[in-house]
Chain A
Amino acid sequence: MNTHPMTLLTIVAESILKDRLVHEIRNIGAKGFTITDVSGEGSRHRRVSELLGDNGKIEIIVKRETADKVLEVLQKEYFISYAVIAYMSEIQIVRENKYS
C-alpha cells in the first residue's frame, strides 16, 4: 500500500471552546476533524464539569504547515487563558488528496 506522510494534530480543550476551535481550524484550512468527549485534569486543576462540561479532544490530519498555523493561533489566543493542550505527531495515511 502506498502511504504518505501527514501530521496529526491533537487538541484537548475545555468543552466550551469546541465550536470556536472548530471554526478556527476550518478557517485555517483543515478539511475535516474528529471530536471525542474526554475527561481529565491538568495544571489548571478541576473545573466544575457538571456546569461547564468536560473536555473535548479535537483531532485533525493536515499538512505540517497547516498544523503550525493552528498552533500559532492557539499560542496567541488560547493557551494563556483557557485549559488547552495541543500536540502533534507525524503519521502515515492513504488517500493523500482527501486531506489537502
Chain B
Amino acid sequence: MTLLQMFQSNICSPMVLAFAFGIVCRVIKSEMAIPRDLYTSLSIYLLFALGLKGGVELSHCEWRQILLPGIVTIAIGCITPVSAYLTLRYFGKFSIADAAGIAAHYGSVSAVTFIAAEKFVVGQLGEGSVVPFMPTLLTLLEIPGIQVALAIGVIGLAKSRRNVDDGSAATSTSMATVWHELLTARSMVLLVGGMVIGFIVKYEGYASVKPFFDKGDWMFKGALTLFLLEMGLVAGSRLADLKHAGVFLMVFGVTAPIIHGAMGVYLGGLAGLDVGSCTVLGAMAASASYIAAPPAVRMTLPEANPTFYLTAALAITFPFNLLIGIPLYFRMAQAMVGQN
C-alpha cells in the first residue's frame, strides 16, 4: 500500500470523519454542541476502558518484556519536553513560561492519538500486531513530560525573577502540590485504577464487562467517534486563534511531532518492539496532551498564555497526527524496524 493510499484509508474512518465534521460545525457556525457532562463522561469511559484492558493484558505479560520498552518510554518523556522547550525558547523566542507551558503539552501524551494509532495499526496488520502492554507505556509517558517541562519553567522563572527582582509576587506552587495534582489527575487515576482492576480480574473477570468496555467492541468505537466529534468542535473553535499563535507555532506544531515521532519509532525499535508497537510508540511521542497537561500548566505556570498551548496541541498537532502523522510513523516503523 502506498503512503497516499494509507492516508486515504486513514481519513475515511468514522473517527477521523467525525473529527472533521466537528470542525465543519464550528466553521459554519452551527449551534450544535456536545454537553460538557457528556464530554467528561466519554473521556472517563475511554480512559477507564483503556486502563482496564491494559491491566488485563498486563496480568498475562512477563515483566522482562516490559522493562526495556518502559525505560525507553520514560526516556522519551524526558527528552521531548526539553527539545520542545529549547526550540520554542531559542528559535521561537517564546517567553520562559510560554515555552515551558507548550513543552509540557508536547512532553505528555494524548490518549486519543494513542487509540487512533492502535486502531490504524490493527487495521493494517491485524489483531495482535501491537504489544498488549501499550497502555502501561501510555501511563509511563503521561507524567515525566509534564513534570520536566514544569520544572524547567518554574526554575527558569525563579532565576529570571532573582536577576530582575521586579517585586512581582506571582504565585509559585510548590512542587509537592504539582506532584499531587498530576498523580491524582483524572486521566492518571482512571488509567492506573482501571489497570489495577484489570490486573486483578484477568481475562476471566474481564469477560463479564467486555462487551461494554472492550476496544474491539461497538460500544468503545462508538464512544470514541462521539468523543472525536467533540474534539473536532473544540479544535474548530480554536481555529480563529491560529492567527494569534503565529507562523512559528504552526510550523512547530507539525515538525515537532514528526521529529518526536521518528525518535519514538527509532527508540521503540532499539527496545525490541515490533513494527506495530513502534508505530504506536512513535504516535505517543509525537502527540500533545490536552487532558492532563492544560490544568497542570494553568496551575503551575499561570503566566503561560493558554491560547498558545491549547491551539498548538489541539488545533495543529492533534489533527496533524490523526490525519497524516499516524500513517507516516507507520511508514517510518516499516523502514526502520523492518517490513512485515
Contacts and interface: CB of A to CB of B under 8 A. Distances in A.
Interface in A38-87: 47-53, 76-78, 80-82
Nearest to B177: A20
Contacts of B14: none
Given A16-B295, A50-B230, A51-B294, A78 B171 contact: yes
Q: Which of A14, A49, A50 has the most CB of B within 10 A?
A: A50
A51 B288 CA distance: 14
Q: Which of A51, A52, A80, A82 has the most CB of B within 10 A?
A: A51
Contact of B303 (A47, A77, A81): A81
A51 B234 contact: yes
B88 interface: no
A80 B298 contact: no
Given A81-B302, A81-B303, A82-B302, A52 B295 contact: yes
Interface residues of A, number: 15
Contacts of B230: 50
A49 to B, nearest CB: 8
A47 B310 CA distance: 9
Nearest to B33: A50
Q: Which of B39, B238, B295, B298 has the most CB of A within 10 A?
A: B298
Contacts of B302: 81-82
A65 to B, nearest CB: 22
A54 B253 CA distance: 27
A76 B234 CA distance: 34
B64 interface: no
Contacts, number: 41
B36 interface: yes
A51 B290 contact: yes
Contacts of A81: 170-171, 302-303
Contacts of A53: 295
A52 B306 contact: yes
A50 B306 CA distance: 13
A16 B171 contact: no
B36 A50 contact: yes
Contacts of B310: 48, 51
Given A47-B306, A81-B303, A52 B170 contact: no
Contacts of A16: 295, 298-299
Given A47-B306, A80-B168, A81-B303, A52 B298 contact: yes
A51 B299 CA distance: 13
Interface in B77-118: none
Interface in A8-30: 14, 16
A48 B306 contact: yes
B28 interface: no
Contacts of A47: 306
Interface string B123-144: 0000000000000000000000
Contacts of A51: 234, 290-291, 294-295, 310
Interface in B261-305: 290-291, 294-295, 298-299, 302-303
Nearest to A44: B306
Contacts of A78: 171
Q: Which of B230, B290, B299 has the most CB of A within 10 A?
A: B299
A50 B230 CA distance: 9
Q: Which 10 pairs show the lowest CB-CB distances between chains A and B?
A: A81-B302, A77-B171, A51-B294, A81-B170, A16-B295, A76-B169, A48-B310, A50-B234, A80-B170, A82-B302
Given A49-B36, A53-B295, A76-B169, 13 more contacts: A14-B298, A48-B234, A48-B237, A48-B306, A50-B230, A50-B234, A51-B291, A51-B310, A52-B294, A77-B169, A80-B168, A81-B302, A82-B302
Interface of A: 14, 16, 47-53, 76-78, 80-82
5 contacts: A16-B298, A48-B238, A51-B291, A52-B298, A81-B170
